[in-house]
Amino acid sequence: MSRLLVRDLAQVASPAGSGTPLRGADLRRLESIEHAYVLCGDGAIEGVGRMRDLPALEGEVEEIDGSGLSAVPGLVDCHTHPCFAGDRVHEFSLRAGGASYEELHATGGGILSTVRATRAATAEELTAATLRHRGWMRAHGTTTFEGKSGYGLDRDTELVQLEAVRAAGGVPTWLGAHTVPPEFDGADAYLDFLLADVLPDAARLAEAADVFLEHGSFDAAQARRYLVACRSAGLALRLHGDQFSECGAIPLAVELGARSVDHLEATGPEGVAMLAASGVVGVLLPASALFLGRPMPPARALVDAGAAVALATDFNPGSAYCESLPLALSLACTQMRLSPEEALAAATVNAAHVLDRGDRCGRIRPGCRADIVLLDASDWRHLAYHFGGDVVHTVIEGGSVVFRRRA
C-alpha cells in the first residue's frame, strides 16, 4: 500500500459537518487542527490529527515536511470552459475601449469567434489545450474540475470537446445549447439537430447537460425542451442563468430539479427566495462579473436566505480568462461579503456536491479522497487573503504530489 505523510503542518482546515450541500451557519463551521499531520494511503485520507497523536507507522512511508505550511482540501472548480482553440485578446482590447459583451456577440464575435477557431483545430490540438489549461488550474490548487463543451456547436467538435475533458481527468458537461451557430435558422431548428443527432452520443460521454438561458441564446421554453430531453437521456441538469437578465432560469431549474444554476449576477429578491427554498445550488462566478464589469452575484443575500452556494472560476477565453480559484475566493470575500470560511466551503464541499462528488471530495477527513492543497502560509485564510499571489505551495491528488511550486 502506497502511503504519504504530511507532517508538522502549522494548521489543517476543512469544512465541518457531514453531508452536502452546506447552508447557512453550517457554511461557516470549520474543523481546524494546529501542529498537525495528514496521513494518506491508497489514494484516500487515512488519518488526520495533532502531531503528538501520530501513531507509529510501519513500512515504507513517503514524508513531506509541512513546517510553516497550512493545508486545505483540494479545491473543486465546478464551472469551466477549458477546451477551446485560439484566444479573444482582440475582443478584450475592444471591450476595454467600451464595446459591450452583447455588442461583440451580435457582430459575430464572442462565443462564435471561439467556435470558429475550435472547429478548425484538430482533436489532438484540443486535447493538448485542455491538458494545458488543466495544468494551470492545478497550479492554483484545483484538484477536481468540471469542463464544458459548447465551442463546437456541431456534432463532431462537441464530442471531441467532451472526450478532451475526460482525457484531462475532468467531469464533462455537454453545453450543446450555448448559442445558435450561423448555419441554423434559429434556436428551434438548432435544437432539433442537437437532440436528434448529438444527444445520443453526448450522453455517453458527459455527466451533465447545460444551457445558456439568456436573450439572444435560448429562452425558457427552448431551455426546458433541451433539458427535459437531456434528463431523459440520463444526464444531470445545469443552467447558465440570470447573467444579464432574469429570463426564468431559477424557476426552470427548480421545476426540473437541476443540480445548479450558474452566474446569478441579475438575480433579484424573488429569485433569491426561490433558490433558497429549493435543492438547486447557486454557482457564483465573481471573476466573470469582474471581467465584464457586471454587478456581483447577491452572495450575501443568498447565504443569509439559506440557499446553497458554490464558487467557480468560469474559466473561458472571452469573459473570465482566469484559472485561479483562490482569486475567486478573494473576490467572494472582498466583493460579495462572504467570510473566508463560507468561501472555502463553497469552493470545496458545495462545489463537489454540484458534481455529485460531495461524498468523497471537499474535506480533509478519513475516507475522503486524498486531495490536499498545502499553502505557503501558517494560516489557511491566506488562500483568500493573498490576492492573486503564489500562495499554493504543493498540490496532492489521490495521495500523490502533482504540483510543487519552485522556490
Feature table: binding site for Zn(2+): 79, 81, 240, 314
The CA-based dihedral angle spanning residues 149, 155, 157, 158, taken in that order and rounded to the nearest 10 degrees = 10
* Other C-beta atoms lying within 10 Å of the C-beta of residue 3: 18
Cβ-contact 355, 171 below 8 angstroms: yes
Sign of CA dihedral 382, 82, 107, 297: negative
Annotated binding site: 79, 81, 88, 151, 178, 240, 243, 314, 316, 318-319
Half-sphere CA count of 147, side-chain side, radius 13 A: 32
Backbone angles phi, psi at 149, to 5 degrees: -85, -150
DSSP H or E stretch at residue 116: helix 111-120
Annotated binding site for N-formimidoyl-L-glutamate: 151, 316, 318
Question: Rounded distance, CA 277 to CA 130, Å?
Answer: 37
Question: Rounded distance, CA 220 to CA 222, Å?
Answer: 5
Question: Rounded distance, CA 318 to CA 176, Å?
Answer: 17
* Other C-beta atoms lying within 10 Å of the C-beta of residue 200: 10
Q: What residues have CB less than 8 Å from 86, skipping those under 6 apart?
A: 113, 114, 117, 118, 121, 317
The grid coordinates listed for 144 are: 477536481
Annotated binding site for 4-imidazolone-5-propanoate: 88, 151, 178, 243, 319
Question: Rounded distance, CA 49 to CA 51, Å?
Answer: 6
Annotated binding site for Fe(3+): 79, 81, 240, 314
* Other C-beta atoms lying within 10 Å of the C-beta of residue 1: 9
Cβ-contact 41, 47 below 8 angstroms: no
Give the closest residue to 133 by CA, choosing from 103, 165, 104, 93: 165
The CA-based dihedral angle spanning residues 361, 340, 372, 27, taken in that order and rounded to the nearest 10 degrees = -20
* Other C-beta atoms lying within 10 Å of the C-beta of residue 56: 4
What is the residue-wise DSSP string for 311-349?
A: E---BBTTTB----HHHHHHHHHHHS---HHHHHHHTTH
